[in-house]
Structure 1
């Protein structure tokens, strides 16, 4: 699937976004009657495959959840997860901002699902869907992590297609803890570890002089890690501990799998807990035969579905190709861009993202229109934000992980609604 040229993928997206629609829904075989263990809901759901390459038998899997209210008048939001190779269905839809979360043998409502805001949500299993009524529908593209590569490139190609024929009414993109520039993003990890007490002064010095993280990753992908980098990384790994989730350094791990995404008690709402083992539960739920049947899904070439897969053939060295320059092109074309960061993520720390956005604003000659300030969710600080030229924004989500809608769902929803509405984040309560 990932050997498809980007232009071919973008064309597939064009068909996907033009054919499904909520007035004339997708074919009946895409309609989900009811997911096993699902509570009653009023909105419609669709899922299934769209063939993108008959000759090589390639197809894209999608899950589409209508907005809860007035779906016909709401914009379309395309959500992409990163990895590369991680599932927008299993991670995004069922662990972050979709309408349901797995619990026990069934599903529970996600009270902060983004389809409760003002949008129709599309999740793609590592990519994209056919949607007649969406030709002129407002379209937003949102993604996190390695989607810092997917989303800007896809948006740029959409604009290129629009020069030939107006296919997309692209209104903006949002990027969460995104990979935008290899060295800046990765090398900010050392300072984050040190400032949060995860590594010693001595290790911090080695991690910033003897062998930084971008050097290590480059050597690793080239299949030849130097002895000095191996030594430094061994020390970093020992001190940070595998029992600390690097995607959220302040909270506990799911003991059944120290590699899963993690969450515990929400410190601001002590009556609300977030399942620390939601990824494990999602994997179990989506591997059930009755669930796969309800979602019209089939396992092809694998025995068991997983949240992230190495089956997809990505060129890992493409990680070094900067996409912050593409973000700059989009801003020049008048496309609003939001870069946001969960501030407890050490994988793509906020310091790198903030530096890149500020530098881009300076290069584009954008003046600060909203000085760096706090924003609120209810009566608590939700994070910090700065806006440049009313078109390029940076924001943090306080207490959030790499997957911000998972760990801070309510604050993420406030940020998302402000982004869709093109308005400022709340300044007071």
Structure 2
């Protein structure tokens, strides 16, 4: 006998109706979806049984520009009604397959030096259907036949391609078209996510009702948001966490105007000196041991490996950014695994346009045009539009530190709905949380670095579950 209160019982008629509707939709695309289905993925765990799909979606016929995706159905009793979430990694130039899917929040983790997979019991597929997109073009398995595309990459270009991808993907998988849709990501996805959300919001207003995307909101972790506040936060975090001396901090404060995109030479010298000190530890998780493997991956020269060289002082004003979230050990594992012939064949990634899969494409970072210095106006617009927005921050990250993110959130000038408080997980403080009027929530994750789902997988899943289901994070142990 079911004694569950009526308000908590699942609506089985709705579930059955939606499932039948999904089957009807699948009839129109069964061939395309079957061709995407991943079977015999090398080293895939037998239990639990996971249904996943991967392949290419063309986003530009003229240049034969195609983006690669890896999609996992939700592991729940009713996956047919669970929301759809697209995950984007940053860089720009780093792979959502190598990081998000295979190292952080996907159902599989690459282990044993890239020779094995294990099930990730804290995967976000427990709460949602997860779609991982390698974006922009030139990242991972995504490719273009026109080299000029790689010279024109900027935030607008990337958002347009991601939107076109979604339109075509929904045409191939129409059973997900009516689902609640969310965008998620980390690092430079602090630009990607809100810009894609804004584009969807604007297009939805002019598209026919049957063509709209059912966007409900986005969630971003340790996101680059505003150049002034993020850079100010980097400096203050380094000083407050004993990375740099008082004298260096005072010198930088005295000479740096973070409102300007072109810094003075004394500011450049001070900031370069600060990053030199960060070479001694892992800037992305300042309390974690530094990986000591001899990495040969493409990102090895960026903060984390021994051969890092800071940018020339004269180039600093260009707001050069190092790969966000780089971890040389996990990068090595991912590169070894995804370059296996049998793995690429199983994932339908056998195109000759990508001779070697890399976790990060250094050339993209070098040529990317950083034309947007602040996402705060976009946040204001989307908050007024009623979207649900969460910003979370691992508080041990020195690259996009919690201090800068707090400055960004406070700069929006929103009224506080729920004061800063602790939230708990497994009888311990998981972090802090503040809720603002308009639907914005700011959450910290205690002890996590730049890659929160990697460093604190249980807490990250609890946070995501709260975001997706609208449940409050526990306020008591």
TM range (shorter): 0.7 to 0.9
Shift of 1:229: 4.2
Cross-structure match for 1:33: 39
TM-score scaled to structure 1, two decimals? 0.84
Q: For this pair of structures, how many residues does the alignment match? A: 387
1:294 to 2:301 alignment: no
What CA distance in whole angstroms lies between the structure 2 residues aligned with 1:328 and 1:359?
10
Cross-structure match for 2:63: 56
Q: Determine if contact 2:386/2:438 at 8 Å carries over to the other structure.
A: no
Cross-structure match for 1:14: none
Cross-structure match for 2:215: 170
Which structure has the bigger radius of gyration? 2
Shift of 1:190: 0.8
Q: 1:197 pairs with 228, 233, 242, which one? A: 242
1:4-403 residue pairs with structure 2 within 5 A?
26-40=32-46, 41-69=48-76, 70-104=78-112, 105-116=115-126, 118-127=127-136, 128=162, 129=166, 130=169, 131-164=173-206, 165-166=208-209, 167-211=212-256, 218=261, 227-240=265-278, 242-256=279-293, 257=295, 277-298=329-350, 300-312=352-364, 316-318=368-370, 320-360=372-412, 362=413, 366-389=414-437, 391-403=439-451
Shift of 1:78: 0.6
Shift of 1:71: 1.3
TM-score scaled to structure 2, two decimals? 0.76
Cross-structure match for 2:6: none
Q: Determine if contact 2:187/2:224 at 8 Å carries over to the other structure.
A: yes
1:209 match: secondary structure: helix
**Which 10-residue stretch deviates more, 18-27 or 73-82?**
18-27
* 1:40-80, Cα deviation, whole Å (9 max, x unpaired): 13231000101122221110100001101221011101111
Q: Determine if contact 1:142/1:173 at 8 Å carries over to the other structure.
A: yes
1:277 match: secondary structure: helix
* 1:49–1:421 Cα change, 3 Å: same
Shift of 1:36: 0.4
1:340 match: secondary structure: strand
Runs of 5+ unmatched residues, structure 2:
1-21, 137-161, 305-326
1:27 match: secondary structure: helix
**Which 10-residue stretch deviates more, 317-326 or 153-162?**
317-326
Shift of 1:377: 1.1
* 1:170-201, Cα deviation, whole Å (9 max, x unpaired): 11111111111111112211110111111001
Q: Determine if contact 2:255/2:264 at 8 Å carries over to the other structure.
A: no
Q: Determine if contact 1:260/1:277 at 8 Å carries over to the other structure.
A: no
* 1:67-104, Cα deviation, whole Å (9 max, x unpaired): 01221011101111111111111111011100001112
Q: Determine if contact 1:261/1:277 at 8 Å carries over to the other structure.
A: no
* 1:3-56, Cα deviation, whole Å (9 max, x unpaired): xxxxxxxxxxxxxxx999878654322110131011013231000101122221
Shift of 1:423: 2.3
* 1:412–1:261 Cα change, 3 Å: farther
What CA distance in whole angstroms lies between the structure 2 residues aligned with 1:210 and 1:29?
58
Shift of 1:345: 0.8
Shift of 1:378: 1.4
1:112 match: secondary structure: coil
Shift of 1:289: 1.1
What CA distance in whole angstroms lies between the structure 2 residues aligned with 1:231 and 1:353?
24
Q: Determine if contact 2:383/2:438 at 8 Å carries over to the other structure.
A: no
Runs of 5+ unmatched residues, structure 1:
1-17, 220-224, 263-274
Q: Determine if contact 2:56/2:69 at 8 Å carries over to the other structure.
A: yes
* 1:36–1:354 Cα change, 3 Å: same
Shift of 1:212: 6.1
2:176 match: secondary structure: coil
Q: Determine if contact 1:254/1:260 at 8 Å carries over to the other structure.
A: no
Cross-structure match for 2:16: none
* 1:128-148, Cα deviation, whole Å (9 max, x unpaired): 551321221100111111111
What CA distance in whole angstroms lies between the structure 2 residues aligned with 1:299 and 1:261?
31
Q: Determine if contact 2:384/2:438 at 8 Å carries over to the other structure.
A: no
